Chains A and B, each alone.
Chain A
Amino acid sequence: MIPEIGHFALILALCVALVQGILPIYGAAVGNSALMAVAKPAARTQFLLVLTAFGCLAYAFADKDFSVLYVAATSNSQLPLHYRLAAIWGAHEGSLLLWTFILTIWMFAVTLFSTHLPDTMRSRILGVMGLVSVGFLLFMLSVSNPFERLIPAAPEGRDLNPLLQDPGMVIHPPMLYMGYVGFSVAFAFALAALLGGNLDAAWARWSRPWTTVAWCFLTVGIAMGSGWAYYELGWGGWWFWDPVENASFMPWLAGTALVHSLAVTDKRGGFKVWTVLLAIMAFSLSLLGTFLVRSGVLTSVHAFATDPKRGMFILAFLAVVIGGSLLLYAWRAPRVGLGGSFSVLSREGLLLANNVLLVAAMGSVLLGTLYPLFLDALDLGKISVGPPYFDSVFVPLMTPALFLIGVGPLAQWKQAALPDLAKRLRWAFGVSIATAVALPFALGTWTPLLSLGLLLAVWIFSTAVVGVRERVGHVAGDGYVARLAGVPRSYWGMLLAHCGIAVFIVGVTMVKGFETEQDVRMNVGETATIGGYTFRFDGVQDVMGPNYTAARGTFHIIKDGRETAVMYPEKRRYTAQNQVMTEAAIDTGFLRDLYVSLGEPLDDGAWSVRLYHKPFIDWIWGGCLLMALGGVVAVSDRRYRPAWRREPQTVPAGARLASRQIA
């Protein structure tokens, strides 16, 4: 009964979504405020309906209802409750429901925080989101229904893929989807602006917090996926340029470009057309990512079940949504007009360069991901594009972009003077060069990449210091502390995000430069030393988990004669699918990780063992978290929130902003 309620709720949601997608947009076009007023209640109703469906599926999982095909396929009576709930998004159908659910959450949020928007704008935004939702609901109801029954019911479920039975996997997909789907808001804003023809600075200002929040979620989501790959796959890597990873990375690159381009549109009224295109691109790439993962056109470790019918549906949906919005863009964008002029060396110019580099990087990832498919389609053979391609394309594109992080925030709008910039940045440049040359020697090895990485990281840090010093000089207030407090949060947010990138670079550089690993055969009581740490193997015991049996190894770690940690790597056999998983043990530290994974059992209690010493690896994810934190700080800036409430509804925000800029 409960699954049928869920199914029915989805059907109702589809009806509501159709109403929400058609009436308000039409109402906005003809100026009928009654039709426009439908948008808000429709969006909220749709949210409640999809919430109901989601709750029903969750109940089916909690209740171990194996008469639901999806539940039987992805869970098991031995599976602990939290993983049974996470199994909702453990495979195709449920992920789609999560996608749609999150879309309605964003819609609901838009209805809450859009009271300051003109009615036409709000109804168009919600209308566009409603249309996107129509596509997903149709998809679920036609070819991918999570509530499909299995009659007679299975006596036992097939269990969740053991790879996904991990706390990281519980949160990673929702985070990622919050990011993916969050770009739908910026997308809807852009389409609404194109429909209405009012692409002004106010539009950019409204889009900014939404975009930044989505970007934060996406950043954390990707970082968590990478962290999961690191500790769960047992090979110690953190990024593999796998098609599915690329699918999440491309919207991130486009979204990063969008965040910067929105800043220009907001502050200077420039880049309007470009910003709209980026907003369309960021969401289109999210959809494309969904398509690549779901349709099975590419082979990947992550790929879900291959079903050509589903693939065709998503492709058609993609063609309608992206094709339609690009058509709208081609039709309306030429009338938008250009922003103010600026010279090449100005903050606008540098941000434009940043945008071009980010989009070029995104394009090269896209090309690398789809290239095998293109060749295949042209009957030119099958190839796989691997890390060598991405590394060799990505580093040269990102290096100048990272260099610009140091210059951009210090350059004036409109026109900056090179001698002046050079003078302000000279000591930061000196410090960076000196560190890049000297530090690798001090650490023991000098390689060009190591030096380059350190150069860029120190450059970003030191220019941030220069920026803060100058900024404090401009702010009014007595004493240093008061002045620091006077610097707006959006500025701190930007600095924090940029420093996050520097931290990330330090992590990547140090891991690449100094990680050591050893594959050894270890007998009980034997030791192996790596990176100054001695690992003593104290044998393997059999342990029972809730739905697996495991061989658990014990390793004592000794440094400078003192025991610093005990580690327990496991080799698990999940009983339901009879699948073996390597559960690495990781001793996390600020400056290094120790990583042990069990290989194969050899004769007389000996095991093949893989040991890693990974300096600074946690800085990679720490950097990502800092970036996201930067976004959160920026969004909390005063200029976004109270301003909304203070604004009287009668004055169009655009006009006031324009007058402020003239003044």
Chain B
Amino acid sequence: MTRFFLPLAIFGIMVGFLAVGLTLNPREIPSPLVGKEAPAFSRQQLHEQDKVFARKDLAGQVWLLNFWASWCSGCKIEHPVLMELAKSGAVPIYGMDYKDQRDEALAWLNRWGNPYQIVGVDLEGRVGIDYGVYGVPETYVIDKQGVIRYKQIGPVTEEALAKTILPLVKELQAK
């Protein structure tokens, strides 16, 4: 007898989750790292493999760290926005190629264009763990002292850029 109620029970649980899901924004997560010092890293560069890309080299400037991958569809969405931003020169963007394959990452940048000053390779996702990356794309705004000031979950939209990221960057650059 009870087995006939099983589908209903499963469905009930699902509806519960969906209802909670509706109240959440899939793109919004508070990060405990905001306001803390950006974790240090030193990774091989994607383009020039004999060079490294390290956090400490970027001290004294405001910069964006963008986690992306060639397999990630959200990265494709934010990509034109990043290209425009790179062209405008408002703030340098540094990339971290997250759990990706080198040749595919290079092909991706070749095809769509490269908005990054330097791209680091985070093959096994170690840097991602340090930064608390849930999924790509994610973008961090890091200030002159190396402190994370903002974290964008999911694609950088025109709106997020204009309303949040760029004003913040200007404010930080003025300090």
Contact = CB atoms under 8 A, between A and B. Distances in A.
A663 interface: no
A658 interface: no
Those 8 A-B pairs whose CB atoms lie nearest each other, nearest first: A382-B134, A377-B20, A326-B8, A384-B135, A297-B21, A330-B4, A373-B21, A330-B5
Contact of B22 (A312, A334, A384): A312
Contacts of A167: none
B27 A299 contact: yes
A297 B11 contact: no
A605 interface: no
A347 to B, nearest CB: 25
Contacts of A273: 4
Interface string A616-651: 000000000000000000000000000000000000
Interface in A295-318: 295-299, 301, 308, 311-312, 315, 318
Nearest to A384: B135
B89 interface: no
Given A382-B134, A382-B135, A608-B111, A377 B21 contact: yes
A459 B112 CA distance: 42
B20 A299 contact: no
Contact of A315 (B8, B22, B112, B134): B22
B95 interface: no
Interface in B11-57: 11-12, 14-15, 17-24, 26-27, 29
Contacts, number: 97
A326 B11 contact: yes
Contacts of B18: 291, 297, 315, 318, 373
Contact of A301 (B7, B8, B77): B77
B22 A308 contact: yes
A334 B71 contact: no
B15 A301 contact: no
Given A329-B7, A610-B111, A334 B1 contact: yes
B15 A315 contact: yes
Interface of A: 240, 242, 273, 277, 280-281, 284, 291, 295-299, 301, 308, 311-312, 315, 318-319, 322-323, 326-327, 329-330, 333-334, 370, 372-374, 376-377, 381-384, 386-387, 519, 580, 599-600, 608, 610
A318 B17 CA distance: 13
B68 to A, nearest CB: 13
Interface residues of B, number: 36
Contact of A333 (B4, B21, B24, B80): B4
A387 B70 CA distance: 13
Contact of A277 (B7, B12, B20, B21): B7
B164 to A, nearest CB: 18
Given A318-B18, A326-B7, A377-B17, 18 more contacts: A240-B73, A299-B74, A315-B15, A318-B15, A319-B15, A326-B8, A329-B8, A330-B5, A334-B4, A372-B135, A373-B21, A376-B26, A377-B20, A382-B135, A383-B135, A384-B74, A519-B111, A600-B111
B82 to A, nearest CB: 14
Contact of B17 (A295, A308, A312, A370): A370
Given A297-B26, A519-B107, A315 B19 contact: yes
A386 B12 CA distance: 26
Interface in B96-127: 107, 110-113
B4 A373 contact: no
A311 B112 CA distance: 34
A301 B111 contact: no
Nearest to B7: A326
B147 to A, nearest CB: 23
Given A240-B73, A301-B77, A383-B135, A295 B7 contact: no
10 contacts: A296-B26, A297-B18, A315-B18, A370-B14, A377-B21, A382-B135, A519-B107, A580-B80, A599-B110, A600-B111
A308 B21 CA distance: 10
Interface in B107-160: 107, 110-113, 134-136, 153-154
B69 to A, nearest CB: 9
Contacts of B72: 384, 386
Contacts of B154: 299
Contacts of A384: 72, 74, 135-136
Contacts of A315: 15, 18-19, 22
Contacts of A333: 4
Nearest to B103: A519
Contacts of B80: 580
A323 B113 contact: no
A519 B22 CA distance: 41
Contacts of B110: 519, 599, 608
A291 B15 CA distance: 11
A242 B73 CA distance: 9
Given A334-B1, A387-B71, A298 B7 contact: no
